[in-house]
Each structure stands twice: as C-alpha cells, then as structure tokens.
Structure 1
C-alpha cells in the first residue's frame, strides 16, 4: 500500500512538475527577449531625443545665418543677438551629440564634418561680414560664397538627420523581430506544456476514475438526503483515507441534521410569533397614521399618540415634546414618568443633533437634561419635519427590566419609535400649518386685527349666546376722520402707520373678552358683550377721547388724529349682524355730518326722524 500511495504521489508530482519545467525553459529565453526589448525601447527613446537635438541643430544654423543677414541689411547690432545665441547653443548641442554618438562612427564623422563646415562659414564669411559692416565697407562679394557654404551646412544637417532616422528604423525593425520571435517561442512552449499537462492529467484521472465514480455515487445519494449511505473502499492510499473521512463526515452530518431539524421547529415557532408581532405593529401604525390624518387639532393628535404608544410599548413610560417658541412643550406623558411641562431645545441631545439619542445609566452615557434621575435607560427620537427638528419623542424602559434588558428593549423598539415619530412629526407639522393658515385667513395683514371674515363667525356665536342669556351685545363702528386727505398729504406709508397705532390703542381700551376688527380701509368695528346701551356710548366716547389726545408720531412729526364713532346694540338695533352694522353705520354717518370727532348711536337717528316729522 505504501507503493500505491507513492505511485499516486509520483503521478501527481509528474503532472505538476513536468509542465512547470517546460514553462520555465520557455520563459527563460522569453525573459531575455523581453529584457532586450526593453533595452531596444530605451534605445528608440534615445534616438528620438537625438533626432530632436539634430532638428534643433538645424534651427540654430538658421538662427545664426538670419542674425548675420539681418545685421548685413540693417547694420543694427541687436540683429546679431540671435547669431551669438545660436553659436553658444550650437556648440552645446554639438558637444551633447558627440557624447551620444559615441561608438557610431558614421554619425560622428558626419557631425564633425558639419561642425567643420559651419566653423569655416563662421570664420571666413560671418565674422568677415560683421567686421566689414562695422567698418562701413561693402560685403556684396561675400554674400554668394557665404550662401553656398551655408547651403552645404544645411545639406549636411539633412544628411545627418537621414542617417540617424535610418538607424532608428533599423533599431525598431530589430525590436519587432525580437518580439515576434519571443512570442512565437513562448506560444510553442506553452502549447507543449499544456498538451503534456493535459496528457498527464488524463492518465491520472483515468487511473482513479473508478474509485471517484464510487465516491460520487455515494455522495450523490447523501446529497439527495440519504444520510445512511457509506463508502466501502479498501486500501491505505489517499482515496481509502478519503472514504473513511467521508463516512465520518456523513455520520456527523446525520447527527447535525437531526439537531437542526429540532432547532428548525423551534425557529419556525419564533418566526411565526415575530411575524405576528410585526403584523400587529404594522396594523397599529397604519391605524395610527389614519387617525392622525383625521385629527383636527394638536390636542386630538396628542391623544391618539398616547393611545398608540401605550399599545405599542406596553409597560413603558415617556413623553411627547413639541416646539413652542423658544422651548419644547410637553403635549402628553404616559406611564410612571413625571415629565416637566417645558424644556429648552438644548436640554435634549436628539434635538441638538437631529439624531436618535440612546441613554443607559449603566454605560455612563450622556443623559439629556430633561431625563428624570430615576430613569435607568431612555431613548429620544427627534421629530423631523421638512428638514427641521420640531420636537422629540421620549421613551423610557419598563421599570421591571434589568439595565442590560432595558438597553436591549430600547434597541428593539428604536425602529418602531422612529417610524411613529415620522408620522407624528408630519401630522403635527400639518396641523400647525393648518392652524397658522386659518389664523392668517382671519387676520388683517397690516394691523394684525381680526378681519370681517372672523367677525362674521364670532358675531354669529355671540348673537346666539346673547339671545339665550338675554344679554345686550354692543357694536362700535369707528372711522378715522379726514383719512383720505391725510393720505394725500403725508403719503400712504404714513396712513398705514396711523392705522397701526389706532389699532394698538383700540386693543388697549378693550377687555380680553371683547373683539376689535378692521372692517376695511379706515373703518374698525368693536364688539363688546354684556354692555348696556349707556355704557356702550360712554365706552365709545372714552375711546374717541383717548385717540384724540394721543400724540401720533408720524415721520418724526407729532400729529393729531380723531375718529367718529357710531354705536348700535343687540337686540334693539336688529337681530342679525347685517341689521346691526347697518344701524351702526348710519349712526357713524350722522357723526360725520355733525362735525366728526363725536359719538352717535342709532337712537339719535330716530330722534332726528321725529324732529323732521
């Protein structure tokens, strides 16, 4: 059996080592070719740099000729600057190229010939022309031979460039040839290694296929669920050891499956309970959302929230806070929590950060300032509406839980708390917006007083109450005297300021149970419940005097303003608002006719009618 085991190992060794050895043999020359290719690539880069320097050499020759020619035509020394600069750069460039062309005799000889011809042009023509021009002598005889000499220099530059490019092309061709031969050699070697590896693998697979088929047959039955199947493979080689290991694994798996089946039954029961609990939560939250949408006020919504949290978080305590001006007001609380009626926005970390804040005293977590000393663990969830933090939901753990159990309880309840907090935030924001819009629809935008729309609703209720209790209801209609002339003289901004100050004076003169409305323009209506006729007239006159004596500060001037007031009351002036306001308006018109800055009641109209008859 030792021989069998050694034989299997030998076959595996041959299947791996022989192809690997062939790959190494093939890759060795390939690596050499790649290294040569890299060197050839570096040579090509050097050739390109040399080519650029040869091109620059030709440009320096042109610059030198141009400088001498410009000086010859103009006689101006600045034209020689390109000539002298070209001499320096040409000398530097020639020195660099001489170093780079080391070992390349053809290029070196052409470069030396170029340098000699250029120096000949410089010495025999360029310097001679410059000297003659500076002495004021003609240089016509030198121009033709100078040009011939320079043409020869340019021709040698082109010859040098052509020779260099020929060498560059030869280098690139050699690189391509080396690369192609290396790829061909690698391809042949890799294919040979692959074929040999496949052949050895096939032989090894064929030699052990019978046992593998037996293992596969039994393994398939085990896979299908028959865990009683066992392998019977005799021997001491690797496959027999694999069979023994497989049998032990099958026995272990059979025992684990039995344990797993028992655990699955228990898990299914837990899942059913969890699904039932989640279904109940979803149903409660859905019902909660519908109830919130149907609420007409924040008070109703708070009651719905309290009912729902008591059902969702049984045994817990907590509170709901909502922003009111510069603090947060406790709308509701439940359980054993004694929540403060108000707290500052900075008292709650969830309002500061706009994120959930979980506090556990056992972990020495940071507690909110509104948290009571007897609270061991609590969760604050911010109410986020339209990007703003409008309050927070404060949830405390049931008192019978241990600190560890309390933390776990809060972590499990956090998702549900966040869900209902989103519904609460949206519902309260909508209710507050609705109340704000309703208040705006009942208010005069300039003075902040109630408008005619609110007056209609208010008087309808007050008339019904006055009729039930047989109590009077007084109506005062005020009009600012000469208001149009005031506007024409001082401007509409000053007129608005008068209306605003008059409205403030009227609010100071009435009780909290009375009502001041802006009827429109410069007219105001004051409704005073439970006031007899004589008292109503006296009250109107007191208001008139207060306004007449008040110094109105308009645009830095102290101005006097007076009002005329018409008084009527229920039920003597009528049974409806329209009837009563008509009588009050008539009395106001009478006050205007009789000199303004006075008070008249609808009874005065009856007296005038008697006198007239």
Structure 2
C-alpha cells in the first residue's frame, strides 16, 4: 500500500511540474488536493506519533507500577517474616518465663511455687514425702558448690527415673525434695521411697577423681480428708523427716 501511494504521489508531482499542463483547467484542483493530502498526512503522522508516545508512556508507567507493587510486596513479606519471628520469640520468651517461674533452674524439677499451686488444688489421695540428702553441706564445704550442683542434678535424674508417671517430685529448697505419691497408702509409699533411697545409695558422682556416695533421709505423711495439705500434711511429713535425721539418717520415717 505504501508503495502504490508513493508511486501515485510521484505521478501527481510530475503532472503538477509539467509545463505542458500549466493551463490545464484541473491543475489548480489537483494542486489543492495534493496540498490537502500532504497536510492531512503530516497531521496523521503527528497523531500516530502522539499515540505511540502515549502507549510507550503507559507501558513505562505500567512497568514502574509493577516494580513498585513488587517492591511493596517484598517489603510486606519481609515485615510479615519479621513479625512472625517476633511473635515466635515472644512465645518462646513467655514459655521460658513460665518455665522459670514454675521449675527449678538447676534440676529442671518443679519448684516450690508450682507445688504450692498443686497442693491447693489436690482432690485425689496422696502421700507426701520430704526427702533430704544426708550431710549435703559437707559436699559443698569440701568440694565446692559446683560439685554440690552436680550431685543435685544426678539425684533429680534418679528420682524422675524411679517415680511413676502419676507421681510428682519438686525441689523444695536446698537439698530437700518433695515427693507427691498418688493413690498409695503409707506402707506402699514407704516401699517406693526405700527403693528410691537404695538407688541413691548406689549412685556415684565423680568430682576431681573422687567418688561421692549419697544417702538420703525421708519423712512420710498421708493426706487426710478435710485437712490442709500445707499446714498439716506437709508439716507432719517434715516432722517425720526430722525424726529420721535424729535416729541416724539414711532411713525413712512415717509421721505419727
């Protein structure tokens, strides 16, 4: 089409410049038509150029908008990851706080605070046991507190291994441990405690090439319906523990 148009325009230009047609009655009309065509052609070319530029600008704006959207999306994803990480950190922090508030940092056993809460809510039959490591102060004095800590950790592991799933053991303070034996009377509880004391007697902790032997004394009391666990049951277990110490240690005594 462009070739035919070019050839036609060339013929028109040749006719208009040919002197033989200078007086031809259609020459002026042809010249006006040619000038009008050239003007319209230039105007159309300008419109096409404007349209092309507009389309190019649209494409460029679309690319810029897409890049901005992608950058925004990446920032949101990054913020989302940061937020998720922060939330996870807070959950772990809260769990650590909960663990620290209810468990002994050294042995990992429940601490006195947790046991106080449990004792206030008990509804089942329980026998309480106060267990004390014999002559523990001598271990700290002779071998240092680090050695004493190692002994406590080893004892806590033995206690966990010896008790049933339904029982509970806590570090009550220093070298004292509180055992809560579920659904057993004093005789059966004493048998459980004596087996535990035998395990502790067989336990050996090496400190500076020295084998430390351990014995323990225990006092037992059975929860009586209607009594206060902290003020009565636990107090009787503590009195029985004192009796075990007074009568030579390395033994268990039942509260009178």
Which TM-score bucket, shorter chain as reference? 0.5 to 0.7
Match of 2:180 among 527, 532, 539: 527
Q: How far is the alpha carbon of 1:499 from its aligned partner?
A: 1.8
Relative contact order (alpha carbons < 8 A, sep ≥ 6): 1 or 2 greater?
2
Match of 1:567 among 220, 229, 236: 220
Distance 1:552 1:248 in 2: 102
Corresponding residue for 2:112? 452
Are residues 478 and 421 of structure 1, via their aligned partners in 2, closer, same or farther at CA, if it must alter by over 3 Å?
A: same
User: Does the alignment pair 1:582 with 2:235?
Assistant: yes
Q: Which has the larger radius of gyration?
A: 1
Are residues 416 and 496 of structure 1, via their aligned partners in 2, closer, same or farther at CA, if it must alter by over 3 Å?
A: closer
Are residues 539 and 572 of structure 1, via their aligned partners in 2, closer, same or farther at CA, if it must alter by over 3 Å?
A: farther
Counterpart contact for 1:475–1:527, Cα < 8 Å: yes
| Structure 2 counterparts to residues 113-262 of structure 1, below 5 A | 244=39, 248=43, 252=47
Corresponding residue for 1:472? 125
Q: How far is the alpha carbon of 1:413 from its aligned partner?
A: 7.3
| Structure 2 counterparts to residues 413-492 of structure 1, below 5 A | 417-461=77-121, 463=122, 467=123, 471-492=124-145
Structure 1: runs of 5 or more not aligned: 1-239, 272-277, 279-409, 606-613
The DSSP-based 3-state class of the residue aligned with 1:512 is coil
The DSSP-based 3-state class of the residue aligned with 2:128 is strand
Render the CA deviation track for 1:429-488: whole Å, top value 9, x for unaligned.
211221122212322222222211222233334x0xxx2xxx311211111112223333
Corresponding residue for 1:592? 245
User: Does the alignment pair 1:558 with 2:215?
Assistant: no
User: Does the alignment pair 1:500 with 2:153?
Assistant: yes
Distance 1:588 1:557 in 2: 29
TM superposition score normalised by structure 2? 0.67
Render the CA deviation track for 1:474-505: whole Å, top value 9, x for unaligned.
21111111222333333333322222222221
Corresponding residue for 2:169? 516
Distance 1:503 1:478 in 2: 11
Distance 2:229 2:105 in 1: 27
Render the CA deviation track for 1:62-82: whole Å, top value 9, x for unaligned.
xxxxxxxxxxxxxxxxxxxxx
Q: How far is the alpha carbon of 1:417 from its aligned partner?
A: 4.7
Q: How far is the alpha carbon of 1:423 from its aligned partner?
A: 2.6
Are residues 414 and 245 of structure 1, via their aligned partners in 2, closer, same or farther at CA, if it must alter by over 3 Å?
A: same
User: Does the alignment pair 1:545 with 2:198?
Assistant: yes
Distance 2:226 2:217 in 1: 19
Corresponding residue for 1:206? none
Q: How far is the alpha carbon of 1:566 from its aligned partner?
A: 0.9
Render the CA deviation track for 1:3-24: whole Å, top value 9, x for unaligned.
xxxxxxxxxxxxxxxxxxxxxx
The DSSP-based 3-state class of the residue aligned with 1:564 is strand
Between structures 1 and 2, the one with greater helix share: 1
Render the CA deviation track for 1:81-104: whole Å, top value 9, x for unaligned.
xxxxxxxxxxxxxxxxxxxxxxxx
Counterpart contact for 1:498–1:554, Cα < 8 Å: no
Are residues 249 and 565 of structure 1, via their aligned partners in 2, closer, same or farther at CA, if it must alter by over 3 Å?
A: same
Structure 2: runs of 5 or more not aligned: 1-34
Distance 1:419 1:493 in 2: 45
Q: How far is the alpha carbon of 1:530 from its aligned partner?
A: 2.2
Render the CA deviation track for 1:397-427: whole Å, top value 9, x for unaligned.
xxxxxxxxxxxxx999766555533332221
Counterpart contact for 1:564–1:592, Cα < 8 Å: yes
Distance 1:507 1:429 in 2: 30
Q: How far is the alpha carbon of 1:518 from its aligned partner?
A: 0.9
Distance 2:252 2:221 in 1: 11
Distance 1:493 1:415 in 2: 50
CA RMSD of aligned residues (A): 3.8
Q: How far is the alpha carbon of 1:246 from its aligned partner?
A: 10
Are residues 485 and 536 of structure 1, via their aligned partners in 2, closer, same or farther at CA, if it must alter by over 3 Å?
A: same
